[in-house]
């Protein structure tokens, strides 16, 4: 039986095109934060495959339920490469609208195909950043209800400082630019940190603990040791420069780094961010307190009386009063034609008194209803004004973060214009300067977007607070006027309730009323019913006037 042939990697022929494509790939990987691409002793295969695995892990923390297997290894056996490439191919198939990827692109070193994959994935990573995937932990802070200001500011500041993307490839030791936070390091020390990482793949300057006091961490003993090591590397680098022009140019790059004063800028920016976080918490706390207060007020809210129904009730009452008034007037006219007697005289006076009471009552009811309507009109006009809440938002914070990038771009232009040509020692320094600019730009771009999100969250919280305050003012208005209207309705109801007893008796005593509306129901006409509703007009008007006085 013939043996199965295993495809062996072909020997890579290095051409100018190959070098150009490889440099483009390395620069692209570095631009999205894959610092291992800069390390000189890492093989080209591990730089590219490691970078692609790292970018894919942003979108797929696991591949078909398995962790990413990539590890830097030289020399790397072909079966290990097959496992790593298999994961890349499977992960790419899970990406939406992915470009074609084959095993041969990596095993057979198809550099052009690898460049296309790297560029496509790098664009996806950048698009993901724009869609705020990189900032989700920071944004999640604004969905939490904090118990105190310290807890709120600590959580917000930690996630503001945090730069790492959410990848699962933990075996890849990426570079960290904590060194630029140290205001005691020189420009040459910064360059030395980048030079050392590119040559060894390891950091000298230890990371800051982002949850602790950063200023206190700068005076630690091991920080002094770190600075001393970097100073030695910087001095060796200067000695390797062959001519005075190279040294002058390298010193200029180091001084440009120092002139940026990044440590001071970061401290100032974080102070501004901290202040914004405190203001956000203050607004959030006020919103939470007011929301709880609004709930308790709503439980005692008075319902609005339907003015149209009150109008119908008033019309019914006045109709009945007028009907009774007409009937008693007829009774009085009939008595005027009768023979005079003391009894008839007394009865005549009694009827006249009833007519006077009925006339006055109509006027009283109408006056009371007008006062009620005026109070309702005042209630509707008394619309609370929205007011501006909270402290001013630092609108320039996000823009100032971009200003740092503009200064970095300016120094990069100077380097490109002034760099000596084709001198390896200087080229090494220029390359690490490019890396420095790339990493610092990424830092401040990250801060720009987070500062922008912080401002948006503050603005949104202030708007919510403003709406809630307006709603709470309306609730207080409804409660104030509702209580007044309820009292007026009750008092008018009591007035008509008391009058109804007399009306019932007067209707029975009136011959004319009984003729028109017999008690036995022989007349099919509906007898007007008096409905009991409100209070005396004077009391309503008095209360309304008192309330509307400035």
Q: Tens digit of pLDDT per residue, the chain (550 long)?
A: 444 444 555 555 556 678 889 999 999 998 888 989 999 999 999 999 999 999 998 888 889 888 999 999 889 999 999 999 999 999 999 999 999 999 999 988 899 999 999 999 999 988 887 666 668 888 889 988 888 999 999 999 999 998 766 555 555 667 788 899 998 999 999 999 999 999 998 889 888 888 877 777 777 888 899 999 999 999 999 888 877 788 888 999 999 999 999 999 999 999 999 999 999 999 999 999 888 887 766 655 566 778 888 888 888 888 888 999 999 999 888 888 777 788 888 888 999 998 998 888 888 888 888 878 887 888 888 877 766 666 789 999 999 999 999 999 999 888 888 876 656 667 888 889 999 998 999 899 899 999 999 999 999 999 999 988 888 888 778 777 877 777 777 777 777 777 777 888 888 888 888 888 876 544 444 444 544 443 333 333 333 333 333 3
CA-wise closest residue to 373 among 259, 534, 514: 534
Residue 53 contacts residue 87 (beta carbons within 8 Å):
yes
Residue 51 contacts residue 29 (beta carbons within 8 Å):
yes
Domain shared by 104 and 196, yes or no: no
User: Is residue 108 classed exposed, middle or buried when 0-12, 13-18 and 19+ CB atoms within 10 A define those classes?
Assistant: middle
Domain shared by 318 and 254, yes or no: no
Domain shared by 444 and 460, yes or no: yes
Alpha carbon distance 361, 351 (integer Å): 15
Alpha carbon distance 65, 203 (integer Å): 32
**534 DSSP β-pair partners:** 492
The pLDDT of residue 51: 94
Coil vs helix vs strand at 450: helix
Residue 448 contacts residue 398 (beta carbons within 8 Å):
yes
Alpha carbon distance 38, 175 (integer Å): 10
Q: How far is CA 475 from the centre of its chain?
A: 26
Give the burial string for 161-172 (b: 16+ CB within 10 Å, else e).
bebebebbbeeb
Stated pTM of the model: 0.72
Q: How far is CA 314 from the centre of its chain?
A: 52
The pLDDT of residue 106: 92
Count of C-beta atoms within a 10 Å radius of residue 401: 22
Domain shared by 90 and 171, yes or no: no
- Out of 116, 131, 146, pick the residue that ends a domain: 131
CA-wise closest residue to 488 among 341, 300, 238, 314: 314
**63 DSSP β-pair partners:** 66
Domain shared by 279 and 408, yes or no: yes
Domain shared by 22 and 39, yes or no: yes
Is residue 1 in some structural domain? no
Give the burial string for 337-362 (b: 16+ CB within 10 Å, else e).
eeeeeeeeeebbeebeebbeebeebe
Which tokens go with 355? Answer: 């007519």
Is residue 2 in some structural domain? no
Count of C-beta atoms within a 10 Å radius of residue 415: 17
Q: Length of the chain, please?
A: 550
User: Is residue 473 classed exposed, middle or buried when 0-12, 13-18 and 19+ CB atoms within 10 A define those classes?
Assistant: middle
Query: What are phi and psi for residue 66, nearest 5 degrees?
Result: -110, 150
User: Is residue 103 classed exposed, middle or buried when 0-12, 13-18 and 19+ CB atoms within 10 A define those classes?
Assistant: middle
The pLDDT of residue 528: 47
Is residue 297 in some structural domain? no
Residue 168 contacts residue 57 (beta carbons within 8 Å):
yes
The pLDDT of residue 92: 95
Bond prior to 75 in cis (omega within 30° of 0): yes
Tell me how many domains the chain contains: 3
Domain shared by 452 and 524, yes or no: no
- Out of 113, 131, 149, pick the residue that ends a domain: 131
Is residue 126 in some structural domain? yes
Alpha carbon distance 298, 472 (integer Å): 9
Coil vs helix vs strand at 490: helix
Residue 69 contacts residue 84 (beta carbons within 8 Å):
yes
User: Is residue 180 classed exposed, middle or buried when 0-12, 13-18 and 19+ CB atoms within 10 A define those classes?
Assistant: buried
Alpha helix stretches (DSSP H) within 299-341: 307-336
Domain shared by 111 and 227, yes or no: no
Give the burial string for 220-230 (b: 16+ CB within 10 Å, else e).
eeebeebbebb
Is residue 296 in some structural domain? no
Domain shared by 340 and 201, yes or no: no
Domain shared by 418 and 544, yes or no: no
Domain shared by 431 and 284, yes or no: yes
Domain shared by 371 and 484, yes or no: yes
Coil vs helix vs strand at 285: helix
Is residue 10 in some structural domain? no
Which tokens go with 374? Answer: 């005026």
Residue 68 contacts residue 168 (beta carbons within 8 Å):
yes
Coil vs helix vs strand at 509: helix
Q: Which residues contact 83 (CB under 8 A, 6 or more apart)?
A: 69
Domain containing residue 104: 16-131
- Out of 442, 468, 494, pick the residue that ends a domain: 468
Is residue 11 in some structural domain? no
């Amino acid at each position: 039986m013939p043996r199965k042939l295993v495809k062996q990697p072909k020997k890579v022929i290095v051409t100018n095109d190959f070098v150009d494509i490889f440099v483009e790939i390395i620069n692209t990987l570095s631009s999205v934060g894959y610092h291992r691409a800069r390390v000189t002793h890492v093989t080209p295969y591990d730089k590219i495959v490691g970078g692609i695995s790292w970018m894919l892990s942003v979108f797929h923390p696991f591949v078909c339920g398995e962790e990413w297997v990539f590890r830097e290894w030289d020399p790397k056996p072909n079966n290990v490469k097959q496992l790593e490439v298999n994961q890349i191919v499977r992960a790419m198939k899970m990406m939406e609208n992915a470009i074609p990827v084959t095993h041969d692109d990596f095993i057979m070193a198809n550099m052009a195909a690898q460049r296309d994959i790297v560029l496509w994935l790098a664009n996806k990573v950048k698009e993901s950043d724009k869609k705020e995937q990189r900032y989700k932990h920071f944004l999640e802070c604004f969905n939490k209800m904090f118990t105190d200001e310290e807890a709120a500011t600590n959580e917000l500041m930690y996630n503001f400082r945090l730069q790492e993307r959410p990848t699962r490839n933990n075996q890849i030791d990426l570079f960290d630019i904590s060194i630029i936070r140290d205001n005691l390091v020189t420009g040459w020390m910064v360059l030395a940190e980048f030079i050392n990482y590119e040559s060894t793949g390891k950091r000298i300057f230890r990371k800051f603990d982002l949850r602790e006091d950063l200023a206190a961490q700068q005076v630690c003993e091991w920080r002094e040791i770190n600075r001393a090591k970097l100073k030695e590397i910087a001095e060796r680098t200067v000695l390797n420069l062959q001519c005075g022009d190279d040294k002058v140019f390298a010193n200029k790059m180091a001084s440009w780094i120092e002139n940026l004063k990044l440590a001071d800028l970061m401290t100032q920016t974080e102070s501004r961010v901290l202040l914004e976080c405190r203001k956000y918490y203050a607004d959030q706390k006020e919103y939470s307190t007011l929301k709880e207060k609004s709930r308790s007020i709503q439980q005692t809210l008075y319902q609005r009386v339907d003015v149209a129904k009150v109008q119908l009730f008033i019309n019914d009452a006045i109709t009945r009063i007028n009907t009774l008034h007409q009937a008693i007037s007829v009774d009085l006219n009939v008595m005027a034609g009768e023979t005079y007697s003391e009894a008839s005289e007394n009865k005549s006076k009694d009827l006249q008194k009833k007519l006077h009471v009925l006339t006055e009552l109509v006027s009283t009811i109408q006056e009371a209803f007008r006062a009620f309507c005026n109070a309702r009109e005042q209630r509707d006009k008394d619309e609370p004004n929205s007011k501006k809440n909270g402290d001013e938002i630092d609108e320039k914070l996000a823009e100032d973060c971009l200003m740092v990038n503009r200064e970095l771009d300016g120094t990069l232009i100077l380097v490109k214009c002034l760099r000596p040509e084709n001198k390896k020692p200087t080229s090494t320094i220029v390359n690490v300067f490019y890396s420095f600019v790339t990493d610092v730009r990424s830092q401040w771009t990250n801060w720009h977007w987070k500062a922008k999100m912080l401002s948006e969250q503050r603005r949104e919280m202030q708007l919510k607070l403003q709406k809630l305050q307006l709603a709470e003012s309306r609730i207080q208005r409804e409660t104030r006027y509702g209580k007044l209207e309820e009292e007026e309705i009750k008092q008018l109801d009591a007035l008509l309730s008391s009058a109804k007893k007399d009306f019932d008796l007067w209707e029975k005593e009136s011959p004319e009323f009984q003729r028109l509306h017999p008690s036995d129901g022989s007349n099919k006409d509906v007898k007007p019913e008096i409905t009991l509703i409100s209070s005396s007009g004077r009391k309503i008007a008095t209360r309304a006037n008192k309330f509307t006085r400035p």
